[in-house]
Amino acid sequence: MTVDTSKRQDQVSDLPPPGGLAIQGQLPRWAVPGGLAASAVVVGLVLAAIGFSVGLFVVGTVVLFAVGLYVASRQVEGSRKATDRLVTVVVSSAFGLAVIPLLSVIYTVVSLGMVRFDGEFFNSSMRGVVGEGGGAYHAIVGTLLITALAALMSIPVGLLTAVYLVEYGKGRLAKAITFFVDVMTGIPSIVAGLFAVALFTYLVGPGARLGFAGSVALSVLMIPVVVRATEEMLKIVPNELREASFALGVPKWRTILKVVIPTSIAGIASGITLAIARVIGETAPLLVAVGLTTALSFNPFDGRMATLPVFAYLSYATPGVPREPYLERAWTAALVLIIIVMLLNLLARLIARVFAPKSR
């Protein structure tokens, strides 16, 4: 507070004589676009002399523009306005900087992944394939099966737990569950994979790798996400709806099933879809718990299975002798994975929009 007042007094003494408001200058509206264009031209000319590169051009333009704008504004508008303009430039360019990786990721994956984005990739496995050809049909099947099994285990458990926490939970048990769901949210994915390995080492024997172990690992990661999402949605169901239902003599469990859950189903479904999207791209737990195979397998309870993320990783990290076909398949697998995840995200938004309760 003290700082503020002293600042303000400085400002007051800085103010120009009466009638200052009209006199105090302001940069013209064209100063920002004009300054940007001018710095782009200057930097472009300088770089043209010493060798051009897109990165240097953008960085140089932004820096020159920021400095120039600050100096000009300081001369005309005073230091406070100048700082404000400088921060505006910094904050806006920070957003631009944050978007660059996204664009670069999408560009890299699409341009390298399109090479093998063909029919063979989707209808053949890697059985007996060395070098060219082959595909990831077996990995796509494995990813879908393992994720579906994980969802099958996580959704009922997560949903019922959220119902318990919101509708029934009181006292110590509910508090403990809330706390440990938080703990579970923070489990690193590789640790979940190690848990699955340790569990199935105990159940099946050392060196056990099977698709179901991957599903268990993914469930450990997925359950807390489902609980959190569902809890949030159940909490915003207005209490009046429950009370109205009770007043009509409807028992509590039917109230929950027929009133509370249908009201919030859009949010719950979109939350669950996002949870699936989150785990379907997990690599580490599947790498340690499921491994990889070259052949098609529809049985997650017997032996190794291929999954897209592990397929992409191992094709990239340990390619065969002609490297190129392996790397191409890795990028295409990454592209397919990104497409699946983006579709799931899109689906979640669609669900949330289409099935949202009618607002008054």
Partner 1 sequence: MSTETTPGPSPADTQPPVTSTRPVVQPGDRIFSGLAKGAGILILVVLAGVAAFLLVEAVPAFTAPSAEIPGGAGFAAYVIPLVFGTLLAAVIALVIATPLAVAVALFITHYAPRRIAQGLGYVVDLLAAVPSIVYGLWGAGTLAPASVALMVWLENNLGFIPFFAGPASTTGRTMLVAGVVLAVMILPIITAVSREVFLQTPRLHEEAALALGATRWEMIRMAVLPFGRSGIISGAMLGLGRALGETMAVAIVLSVSGGITFNLIGNGNPSTIAANIALQFPEASGLGVNVLIASGLVLFLITLAVNSIARFIINRRREFSGAN
- Give residues 160-219 in contact with partner 1 (rule: CB under 8 A): 160-161, 163-165, 167-169, 173-174, 176-177, 180-192, 194-195, 197-199, 201-202, 206-207
Q: How far is the CB of 80 from partner 1 (least distance, A)?
A: 6
DSSP per-residue letters across 26-76: ---TTHHHHHHHHHHHHHHHHHHHH---HHHHHHHHHHHHHHHHHHHHHHH
The amino acid at residue 209 is: R
- 281 or 303, CB closer to partner 1? 281
- Which phi and psi (to 5°) does residue 294 adopt? -95, -15
Q: 14: Cβ–Cβ under 8 A, 6 or more apart, which residues?
A: 78
> From CA 106, how far away is CA 297, in angstroms rounded?
31
Measured from the CB atom, is 161 or 263 closer to partner 1?
161
DSSP characters for 173-242? HHHHHHHHHHHHHT--HHHHHHHHHHHHHHHT-TT---HHHHHHHHHHHHHHHHHHHHHHHHHTS-HHHH
Site for partner 1 in 290-319 (CB under 8 A): 291, 309, 312-313, 316-317
- Interaction of residue 282 with partner 1, rule CB under 8 A: yes
User: In whole angstroms, how close is the CB of 95 to partner 1 at the nearest point?
Assistant: 4
CB 223 within 8 A of CB 304: no
CB of 295 to partner 1, least distance (A): 18
Question: Cβ 293 to partner 1, closest distance in Å?
Answer: 13
CB of 43 to partner 1, least distance (A): 18
In the numeric block, the tokens 């600050």 are attached to: 70
Select 119 or 205, whichever has its Cβ closest to partner 1: 205
Query: Binding pattern to partner 1, positions 257-276, x when CB under 8 A?
Result: x-------------------
Instruction: Point out which span in 22-30, 83-91, 125-133, 264-272 binds partner 1 (CB under 8 A).
Output: 83-91
